[in-house]
């Protein structure tokens, strides 16, 4: 599934982020350059994935608000009808 692949990319990005700051990577310039390139490539994907997750979360919250509002309106309507 696509989301599983994106999560795996995010995990790899975090691994590269940790590794790039290690003393071993800094002492091996070839490895450091390789990690730096990979980091930059993954960063673009990870940023878009984070944006997707934020939008999805906001959409779910908006749906909950709409559902709550509909329920509140229904209860208000029922109360009004029961008293009239």
pLDDT in tens, 65-76: 878 877 777 667
Q: In the chain, count H helices and then E strands.
A: 3, 0
The rounded mean pLDDT for the chain is 90
Number of folded domains in the chain? 1
pLDDT digits 0-9 by tens, 7-18: 999 999 999 999
Q: Which two tokens stand for residue 65?
A: 């608000």
Q: Is the pLDDT of residue 39 over 80?
A: yes
Q: Is the pLDDT of residue 82 over 70?
A: yes
Which secondary-structure segment (H or E) carries 10? helix 2-20
pLDDT at 32: 96
d(CA 29, CA 36): 10
Q: Which domain holds residue 46?
A: 2-83
pLDDT digits 0-9 by tens, 18-38: 999 999 998 999 999 999 999
pLDDT at 72: 76
pLDDT digits 0-9 by tens, 48-59: 999 999 999 989
């Amino acid at each position: 599934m696509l989301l599983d692949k994106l999560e795996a990319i995010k995990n790899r990005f975090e691994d590269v982020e940790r590794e790039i700051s290690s003393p071993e990577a800094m002492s091996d310039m070839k490895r450091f350059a390789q990690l730096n390139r990979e980091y930059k490539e993954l960063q673009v994907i990870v940023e878009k994935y984070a944006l997707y997750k934020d939008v999805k979360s906001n959409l779910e919250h908006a749906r909950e608000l709409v559902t709550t509002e509909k329920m509140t309106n229904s209860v208000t309507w029922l109360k009004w009808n029961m008293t009239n």
